[in-house]
Amino acid sequence: MSEIAVVTGGGSGVGRAVAHQLAAIGWRVAVVGRTEASLEETIRTSARPEQFLACPCDVSIADEVAAMADRVRSNLGDPTALVNCAGTNIVDRQLEVLSPADWQQLIDTNLTGTFLCVHAFLPAMRRMGRGTIVNVISDAGLRANATAGAAYVASKFGMAGLTQSINAEHRAHGVRACGVFPGEINTPLLDKRPSPPPQEKRMQMLQADDVAACVLLAITLPPRAVVEQLLVMPR
């Protein structure tokens, strides 16, 4: 029987690359994202479209996450891997222009959204005695930088703490968590920068498949091993 994974942010970027790589090795994958058309594009562009389930969902809304989790369980079963790639940023990100509403939006999507998905799937992993949760964070979750902006940095530091808490509380129950901390990645999120980088600069960054390979390492290691933190940077 195929293993089952849930990948948030599955409509583009790293989430799409992770979903494609998992399907290529035989996993059934529920791809989660706000836009159904983007999820269908992920499925259509995969070499194994039959391995997918599209689950439109805004991860910042608790009721939508609960409904998504029910859909996954009804159609695929309980997942043994959860990959949290959903995330956003804003143009007006510097402290002098950052609004309380934009701060809340980033915290709700990047941090609370990750928590809600963990909350939805962790209990079953604990009951099964196995499971891997991978949170795709950012090197801004290890050290603040001015490019990322304060709200994004705060949300990513929170994700790092959540990842550590999963290991602290649940490693004895067969559940492991990995925080992947990439440097600059060439994804659509770059377009939200106040000054988006040119194509030449983007090609020097990490590509989505590079980060997806790190995620697969964390998931496919033997159960006796856990990658707690993985920092990956452009060469």
Q: Catalytic residue positions?
A: 152
Query: What is the C-alpha to C-alpha distance for residues 74 and 88, in angstroms, rounded to an integer?
Result: 29
CB environment 171-209: b (16+ within 10 A), e (fewer): eeebbbbbbbbbebbbbebbeeeeeeeeeeeeeebbbbe
Helices 113-128 and 62-75 cross at an angle (nearest 10°) of: 40
Cβ proximity of 84 and 68 under 8 Å: no
Torsions phi, psi of 133, nearest 5? Answer: -115, 120
Q: DSSP code of 109?
A: I
Closest by alpha carbon to 151, among 84, 85, 93?
A: 93
